[in-house]
Chains A and B, each alone.
Chain A
Amino acid sequence: MKTMAGDMDRKQYHLALIRETAAELHGVRHPKVILESFLMSAQGGIGALGGFAVLTDRTKDITDLIVRGEDKVSHDNIRILVKAACDPDLSQAKQFPFFLSQTKIRQLPQGFTLILACPMEDGRLAFLGLAPAMHGRDYDDEDCQLLISLSTLFQISLNAALFSTRVELLNAELEKQNTDLDRQVFYLNGLRELSMEAGESVDVEKFLSAFLPTLLGRFSRSRGMVVLHDRTTKDVWLKSMGIEPEPSMTPQIVNRLLFLCLAGIQDKHIKPLQPEPVLQIEPLFDLVPGFTPQNVFLFLVKDGMYGAILLGPPLEDRRFSDQEKELLSAFVAQSVLHLKNADSFAAIVALNKHLADRNQALQETIDELTRAEHRITVLEIAARRIAQMVNRNAEKLMQIRPLDFILLIGISIVLGTVFNLQNPRGISFFPLPKPDGVKFITALEADKILSEKNALLIDARPREFYELGHMKGAVNVPPALFDAVYTANFNTEDPERPLVIYGRNFSRLFDETVARKFLYRDHEQVYILTGDIHDLFIPGGQ
């Protein structure tokens, strides 16, 4: 009965101990505290003289060790113990706590009575070693059961602690990664801001003014400089920040600086829009005024347009990661792209201005052409009218007009009249009046006068007509030869002898002409025979 009561008390004690241990371990996250609490509870629960509690990592190296009441236990001894415990022959892949066999324990260098192994979830191992009990008592099943219960608590607590530790480590790692991500986000925000600023300012000068502070601010640099040189137009853009006094560089120095940058890049060759980090920056120190560059990038915007970005040392004394260097390169590349855009925009603006000027000139030309066209139209109308006038005049010249005949004949009449009046041999325009003292007689009267008065019959017609035929006994005295004939034949003629003259035709009154001449020679009886006398003619020569 007394024994049973003692067993009950012992069990109550064990249960109270388990409860207290559980209460102690509740919330404990440090493995060493757990080990210590586990060792104290186990040692106190079974009355062991000493003991140890050890925790290994996955490689079986000791991470935590608690030793109580055993001076001989050393770190090396424990390592040997752990190694032996982890021997495949001694330990098996078990999930629950287990005691090492007494055979194995006896092979260990220390004199431990019980060694309990507790496998953890993450592959670690924890060992609890207990020296013999006080008063030389042997450990019974109740003790082993208590140790198993305590080890289960220990296993749970240690797993929880290890899990918590892992979570903390993971949190720390995540926090670190978050910091990196924040930094990358910071840089990327810088890139975005740069893009936005570049989108707002398409002028190279303005872009450089906005770009340099952004670059220096994002990458924690207090000093920096960007220089751009267009060899075609000899233009130089230079922007600096944090350098006192503000540097100024001649195109020759800029050219020299860019040449040294080109010599300092990796392949001594640069492609457009692909900035290259300058590896050998020492030769640049003499050319860069006011600061010592630590990072230099050379870039080519377009053919003949080189540029360089020179950054001073960072404000923080820390080493930039490769990722940050890549971001810096990306930042510079983005900037070069914007520079190219700005330059292209400037070219487009210049082209637009040129086009506007050309359009203006073209418009003026069109206006002038319009005016000229108007003038040409007026001139064409005038030319057509002139041509019509000329054609009309030409046609008039080629045509025969009545006026031409009037003029020709009129001029001839005027000239003929004037000349005839002035000509001593001129003639009368009009027929002379019938001569006074001349009697016009008929053929019968003429015959009577011829027979009774012995009159002389005179043919006044030209000789040719006379010879064709004339009146019988007629003497031919043509007007044209009157003087000669008269001198030859009539000088001795009696002026009182009657003269009967005939000879007139449609065109000429020869008889009157000759009668007038005879009257002029003082002949008194002159008769002109009229009427149709052709029947009286005899053929010529008789």
Chain B
Amino acid sequence: MSGRFSTWIRHPFSALMVRFYIGGLFIYASLNKINFPAEFSDNIASYLLVPHFLVNPMAVFLPWIELVSGVCLVAGIRVRASAAVISTLLGTFTIALTVVLLKKTPIDCGCFQNVGDPVSRITLFRDLLWLAMGVYVFRYDSLIHLDRLFMIRPEDLDNP
């Protein structure tokens, strides 16, 4: 059973599916934040973790980092780097959520919508799950990499 699970986990197709999911998720999450940077800025500020002079720049750039990383994941461009960026973001978010939960700060998550998504343990669990997916993609993804399509692969040299 564990062997089959391990095989399934290690299968490149599984990693590809997870990659598409995480990439699409980040693309989706970034769109509203990009359109409404002021509201996202309030969300960031509500965490009370970022100095006030960095809140606005973060509110402007962070959604774009999410978008670019998500697009790269879906397109298969610099996948590992993108997965590393996304995993880092998710790790940061998880830490922030943990802090907020510990401090019992009554704020919205700001993950997708600026309002109506309060921070909870579910939110934390969800972020942890996404973090695991990001690490999984980083570790096992190997299919459909756009940046490899236009170069000779080592295995092609053995079978010209």
Contact = CB atoms under 8 A, between A and B. Distances in A.
Contact of A427 (B56, B107, B153): B56
B95 interface: no
A390 B106 contact: no
Contacts of A505: 45, 48
Interface residues of B, number: 48
Given A408-B72, A408-B81, A412-B65, A425 B35 contact: yes
Contacts of A415: 64, 67-68
B52 A508 contact: yes
B61 A416 contact: yes
B22 interface: no
Interface string B54-66: 0111011101110
Contact of A420 (B60, B80, B85, B145): B60
A541 interface: no
A464 B55 contact: no
Contacts, number: 126
B45 A507 contact: yes
**Which of A390, A399, A426 is the most central at the interface, judged by chain B CB atoms within 10 Å of its CB?**
A390
Contacts of A404: 78, 80-81
Interface string B31-63: 000111111011011111111110111011101
B122 interface: no
Contacts of A401: 81
A506 B57 CA distance: 16
B124 to A, nearest CB: 18
A445 B61 CA distance: 40
Interface stretch (A182-190, A428-436, A488-496): A428-436
B68 A394 contact: no
A405 B48 contact: no
A506 B48 contact: yes
B64 A397 contact: no
A390 B51 contact: no
B51 to A, nearest CB: 7
Given A408-B78, A468-B106, A400 B84 contact: yes
Given A387-B157, A423-B37, A507-B45, 15 more contacts: A386-B157, A394-B148, A400-B80, A405-B84, A408-B68, A408-B72, A416-B65, A417-B61, A425-B38, A430-B56, A431-B53, A480-B39, A507-B48, A507-B55, A509-B52
Interface of B: 34-39, 41-42, 44-53, 55-57, 59-61, 63-65, 67-69, 72, 78, 80-82, 84-85, 105-107, 145, 147-148, 151-154, 157
10 contacts: A399-B80, A408-B78, A425-B36, A431-B56, A464-B105, A464-B106, A465-B106, A507-B45, A507-B50, A508-B42
- The 5 tightest CB contacts between A and B, nearest first, are A404-B81, A416-B64, A508-B45, A412-B64, A507-B45
